[in-house]
Structure 1
Amino acid sequence: MQAETPLRAAPAGTAGRRIPWLPQLLLAAALILCIWLLTRPLVLPLGAMYWDLVLYVDAARRIAEGQVPLLDFLTPVGPLGYWLYAGLDQLFPQAHPLMTAQWSLFLITAPPMALVLIAADRRSRRLALGLLLPYLVFQILPVNVEQHSFFPGLDGFGIYNRQASIVLYVLVSALFVLPGRTLRAGVLLWCMLALLLIKITGFLAGGLVLAYGLLAGRLDWRLGLFAALGGLLMLAGLELSGGLVSAYAESILALLRINAGGILPRFLQAGSLHLDIVAAGGALILALAWIGRSEWVQGLRRLVRERSAASLHALCDRDEAWLAVTMAAGLFLETQNTGGLAFVFAWPVLLRILLRRVQDARPGRFLVLALVAATAIPPAMTVLQRAGRTLLAQSNYIALPNDHLGALGRVSQHVEVVGRAGKMQAIYAASTDTYEAIAAQQILPSQTLYSELDFQLGWLMAIDAGIAAILAHEARTGTRFDTIMSLNFVNPFPALMKRSSVRHIAIGADPFRAVPEPDAEALAAVAAADLILLPLCPVTVANQALHRVYQPAMTGRREIPLGPCWKGFVKG
């Protein structure tokens, strides 16, 4: 095992000036700031694919009605993120939903991170701050490393992917820093259960890291076994309380069947998308292996000679091996991600390399430090640069005018984008035949339609106009639509109008990736809906596909006009 390089002692006279508990105080201050901001009616710059945020808004409304994720409605990922959002939404009803979704994860990551900081600060203040500051950047800022638009904004998409990466960051930090195998095993169990209930690919990535932790001797297999049994007991409790675990497993299998395809192209895509990090990290692994080649040879000889667990642990617990494992786990996670925080959980490993090599006089020191910087800096600088640019740009932004969108509509964008969105809504409404012809070719009006800011703003405008049309129809006819369904990717109408949602159907209804064939229970629930909405601004192949999926449950309904952008289907 590589010997820990001792950190230099603080210069004489500085010990008294060391602020006690500084990392923990900074963490507490960040939490207090976020709580205060959750009480404020913030207006935030809209970013690409903002409508992904409605997944959390829709789920929170359903949970408030007594519905259970996976049992009463299908979700694209695990239920934990939706439960966290729903709980925080009850406490802070005035908060912007994007901040609620982003900061609800503090409930999971802050307690173990506080333990990590206590242990790290006892060893080195630099180590503690080096772990804390990136964590706060990634946990606080709702910004992905990918950018999809020219005008800056905050990212309402990829939220559960960001959550998985941040939990993995805490897991890797705990694996390297926490003393005492029992405490370490408990924290790792906490993180793994959170990953399992957030997104299964995050859980598998964490499993890869922990499996290597057993080889490297950072996990005791007996405690690991007890922790696994404890986790199984918790999952058994969830299963016995209503069948949640088996429903989750069934949803994962259903999504795998829908998204079946070769894994190699996804690895190539993920690697090319983040080539800067992958290339720098790969070069750093090779450089460290070459510099330490004699140690590798000695470790292998010792393993062959002794054939002991200690010699295996010493061989495996090396910086370059750990970096290879975390980079592989990160690459696997990115094969299933759309947006997120690529490879950020490799930072604790990079920090360990940095703190060791900065005092290492061996040849290759500066090459290693340069490659550490090239691997670690891109995601952090991208997030900070995008957040800073958004903060500066919004001084020229205008708020989206709306009457019925509540906190979801507290967004702003450049005046040109807002103006274009309104004009495009009029064009969509007046050119239905054109967009039906485009949909007939099984394509979208634009290859990047959903990431375009004017589409997202226009979609919000259409939702606002649709609610106004529904309310006007109800007032005119004396009816009330208690249960509302939308043949669209997301359905904000029940949450915004305080109505009920149709059970047993998918939220995040991508008909090509996330909507299984509806069973009899789902079709019956759709048939019982008071109002089913079909968006027309614009007509898209995805919305038409959803219409076909649920058409068997819509027989006998009559069509009512609800403004230029919506068709309504009501019971005959």
Structure 2
Amino acid sequence: MALHDIARHPRFQGRKESRKAGFFSPLLLLVLAIAALPLLLLHTITLPIGAMFFDTYVYIDAANRISDGQIPSLDFFAPVGALGYYLFRIVLSAFPNGHPLLIASWSVLLVSAPLMGLVLFDVQKRSRSVAWALLVPFLLFSLLPFNTGGDFFPYPGSDGFGIYNRQICQLMYVLAAALCFMRGPRRLAAAVGLTMLALLFVKVTGAVAGTVMCLAAFLAGRLPLRAALIAGLLFFGVIAALELSLGLVSAYAADILSLVEINEGGLIQRLLQAASLNFGAVFSAIVLALALLAFTGRAFLGAIGAVVRRPSLEALARIFDHPAIWLGAFTLAGLIFESQNTGSQAFIFFFPLVLMILIESRAMFGNTARFAVVALAGLAICLPLAVRVVERSARAYLGAFQNERLEATHLKTMAAVSARPFFFLRAERMNAAYVAHRDTFQDISENGELSSFLMFSDFDYQITWLQNVDRAISGVEAFEAQHGIRFKTIMNIDFTNPFPYLMDRSAPHAIAIGADPFRAVPPPNDRVKAAVADVDLALYPTCPVGITRLALFKLYQPLLDATHERVQITPCFEGFVRKALMAR
């Protein structure tokens, strides 16, 4: 039996009692769950700080630029697509008191939830139990803002990094559910086309991985030609409209090409790295595929023989519609996406596929032992992913009862983080060392080393980062009052720039956000040079100097020295003030 026959199998048709299960349905639960989230965004919830937490503030930087009329890729270089930033801006506008991490994590539900609702609407007509099985993992991974990957710090904390990677994985879950279980051609075409658009404009590697999944479904006969054509027309129609009206797509493509040039490296090496980081899911998928091939080897060879004897699209589809082929395609898609990631909810899109394989296997194998092997292998793929997210969230939130909240004056909702008391003490002591021994940290950075290999993961570093931003704002305001000036545009020579948002100012055009100088900052072009020369104030954080800050400083200093005057704002921040302002 081929997988596309599942739609006609009695086990997927839904029992009569499922149709009489009452008013409460998976689709209703999805609506209620999403409707409840605004209640958690009306007031600022304090979350435990986590490794690389300043990734969250890239969204604040982008949202502030969008509010000023800037468009990602057109007006500033961005490491990923524009959609995630616009979704964040929409939710932040509606809920300004919401925690930035929760807004960034949940904003994708503006897209993923309606698409998942479309899938559930189609599926629950035939089997409410299957719809429930698709919904529960989707809600688990969408509502808990945690990665499935390894720990970057020994103490539990919030996963404030890899947010756009999580969003892609959740969208790929929706795509997988649609490809595996939707039957209405028009609804399937809409779900595929819209999900692929969302994948493209959140992160392009998500669209590449989604294409692999769609191709597998098409070759298996699961994505009919008509539906594929409609989805393609929808996809390319929207792209054409955005390009003709804004020139956005070509600008986005130019950013992607710049990133490819900066991040040159062997694809095979990256794929192997992705496989090693996600060994459990990948190995379990291989085991399951081999088991299915062993159990259905005769039928699979027969399908190949049928194609050789009498080639046809239907005969070819029966080869590609084998569960082992599906597993191989989904594994490849996951590895392609994860080869470019640090943290994400890797391979959660296996859930719909494993569910489909389990339903098919139950019908295919009369042998209980064979079905048990398939079921155990499927659980080995999926269960650890769900347990990992629940475990990480439980450790972070239960451990937070021992935490203290960050005290700040100017940080708005960015201050809604907490940590153990000894991290605040260590932050205070380390910051004093950064000031007193700047030359030492400068020398370490000049040699291409971090003062600690886990520096960006250290909770005390993230606390120090926030505290110094707060103090810098006080210093900037004091400087403005002393000299009778007001900086309209503020640049930060660091990974992200929260100052315009926190001070109700503007960020300069053209300058990259998420500024990792080794991965996501191309050499300055004429637009960047002009923007840097025109910025009112450029801030340079020095506690500690750090290799990334130093690299950015060396990139921008030659542009600033000619047009700006170097001043001391705080012990941990130097400023470059535009000379024309100082001359007034």
Alpha-carbon distance in 2 for matches of 1:286, 1:17: 40
Are the counterparts in 1 of residues 19 and 128 from structure 2 also a CA contact under 8 Å? no
Task: Name the SS for the 1:237 alignment partner.
Answer: helix
Pick the aligned partner of 1:438 from 431, 441, 444: 444
CA distance in 2, matches of 1:253, 1:169: 27
Check conservation: 1:48, 1:155, Cα contact below 8 A. Answer: yes
Summarize the alignment of residues 522-561 of structure 1 with structure 2, pairs less than 5 Å apart.
Answer: 522-556=528-562, 557-561=564-568
* Paired position in structure 2 for 1:133: 136
Partner of 2:47: 44
Structure 2: how far apart are the matches of 1:60 and 1:129? 35
The answer as to 2:81 corresponding to 1:83 is: no
* Residue 290 (structure 1) aligns with: 294
User: Is the CA contact (8 Å cut-off) linking 2:44 and 2:413 kept in structure 1?
Assistant: yes
1:567 alignment partner, one of 556, 574, 580: 574
For 2:429 and 2:561, locate their aligned partners in 1 and report how far apart those are by CA, in whole Å: 35
The alignment status of 1:28 with 2:34, answered yes or no, reads no
Contact 2:148 2:345 in 1 (8 A): yes
CA distance in structure 1 between the aligned counterparts of 2:528 and 2:313, rounded to whole angstroms: 54
- Contact preservation (8 Å) 2:13, 2:127: no
Q: Contact (CA 8 Å) 2:18, 2:127: kept in 1 or not?
A: no
The match for 1:53 is: 56
1:335 partner amino acid: S
| CA gap 1:521/1:10 in 2 versus in 1, 3 angstroms | closer
Distance 2:18 2:466 in 1: 56
> Is 1:329 equivalent to 2:336 in the alignment?
no
Deviation string for 1:422-477 (max 9, x for gaps)? 22111111110110110110111111211121111110111111111111212222
Cα deviation, residue 21, structure 1: 4.2
The question of whether the paired residues in 1 share the 8 Å contact of 2:12 and 2:126 is answered with: no
Q: Which residue, 229, 244, 251 being the options, matches 2:248?
A: 244
Aligned AA (1:174)? A
% identical equivalent positions: 41
Is the deviation greater in 113-122 or in 125-134?
A: 113-122
Task: Tell me if the contact between 1:39 and 1:94 (Cα under 8 Å) persists in the aligned partners.
Answer: yes
CA 1:8–1:309 in 2, change beyond 3 Å: closer, same or farther?
A: closer
Who is 1:119 aligned against?
122
Query: Greater CA deviation, 559-568 or 469-478?
Result: 469-478
Q: Deviations over 1:118-161 (max 9, x none)?
A: 22222222211111011001111110112212221221110110
| Alignment deviations for residues 5-43 of structure 1 (CA, whole Å, 9 cap, x no partner) | 53299999x669723342112111211221211112111
Aligned to 1:255: 259
Tell me, yes or no, if the aligned pair for 2:493 and 2:552 is still in contact at 8 Å. Answer: yes
2:360 alignment counterpart: 356
- 1:271 aligns with one of 258, 270, 275: 275
Give the drift of 1:331: 1.1
Secondary structure class of the residue paired with 1:123: coil
Q: Report 1:198-217 matches (<5 A).
A: 198-217=202-221
Aligned counterpart, 2:522: 516
Go from structure 1 to structure 2 and tell me whether the alpha carbon gap of 1:171 and 1:361 turns closer, same or farther (over 3 Å shift): same
Corresponding residue of 1:193: 197
User: Which residue matches 1:423?
Assistant: 429
CA distance in 1 between counterparts of 2:12 and 2:574 reads: 70
Amino acid at match of 2:467: M
Amino acid at match of 2:145: P
CA distance in 2, matches of 1:502, 1:254: 20
| Cα distance change on mapping 1:474 and 1:412 into 2, 3 Å | same
- Partner SS state of residue 7, structure 1: helix
User: For the Cα contact (< 8 Å) 1:489–1:510, is it kept in 2?
Assistant: yes
- State the one-letter code of the partner of 2:411: L
2:416 to 410, 415, 420: 410
Residue 260 of structure 1: how far off its partner (Å): 0.7
SS of 1:412's partner is strand
User: 1:264-285 deviations in whole A, cap 9, x for unaligned?
Assistant: 1111111111111111111111
Mapped to 2, the partners of 1:426 and 1:70 lie a distance apart of: 39
Measure how far apart 1:222 and its partner are.
3.8
3-state SS in 1 of match to 2:359? helix
Of 116-125 and 137-146, the range deviating more from structure 2: 116-125
**Counterpart check, 1:179 vs 2:186:** no
Distance 1:539 1:209, change over 3 A: same
Alignment-derived partner of residue 394 in structure 2: 388
Structure 1 residue ranges without an equivalent (≥5): none
**Letter of the structure 2 residue corresponding to residue 562 of structure 1:** I
Query: Which consecutive residues of structure 2, in runs of 5 or more, have no partner in the other structure?
Result: 580-584
Of the three residues 512, 515, 528, the one matched with 1:506 is 512
The answer to whether the Cα contact below 8 Å between 2:541 and 2:573 also exists between their aligned partners in 1 is yes
Alignment TM-score, normalising by the size of structure 1: 0.97
Paired residues of 1:115 and 1:178 also in contact (CA < 8 A): no
Structure 2: distance between partners of 1:143 and 1:149? 14
Give the deviation of 1:116 after TM superposition.
1.2
Counterpart position of 2:72 = 69
1:523/1:552 contact within 8 Å kept: no
Is the 1:49–1:157 contact (alpha carbons within 8 Å) kept by the matching residues of 2?
Answer: yes
The verdict on how the C-alpha distance between 1:61 and 1:441 changes in structure 2, with shifts beyond 3 A counting, is same
- List structure 1 segments (4+ residues) > 4 angstroms apart after TM superposition: 8-12, 14-17
Instruction: Quote the residue 2:462 is aligned against.
Output: 456
SS at match of 2:125: helix
Match 2:404 to one of 398, 401, 405:
398
Aligned AA (2:304) = L
Deviates more, 1:436-445 or 1:551-560: 551-560
Mapped partners of 1:419, 1:466: distance in 2: 20
CA distance in 1, matches of 2:36, 2:74: 36
TM-score (norm 2): 0.95
User: Which amino acid is 1:315 matched to?
Assistant: I
Deviation at 1:306, TM superposition (A): 2.3
RMSD over aligned CA atoms reads: 1.7
Correspondence for 1:96: 99
- Report if aligned partners of 1:484, 1:499 keep a CA contact under 8 Å in 2: yes
Equivalent AA in structure 1 for residue 277 of structure 2 = L
Structure-2 separation of matches of 1:453 and 1:169: 32
| Matched residue, 2:348 | 344
Q: Distance in 2 between the 1:174 and 1:9 partners?
A: 17
Q: Which residue, 154, 161, 169 being the options, matches 1:157?
A: 161
Deviation at 1:80, TM superposition (A): 0.5
- 2:571 maps to amino acid: P
The worse-fitting range, judged by mean Cα deviation, of 166-175 and 417-426 is 417-426
Listed one character per residue, the Cα deviations across residues 34-57 of structure 1 (whole Å, up to 9, x for unaligned) are 121111211111111110111110
**How far 1:361 sits from its partner (Å)?**
2.8
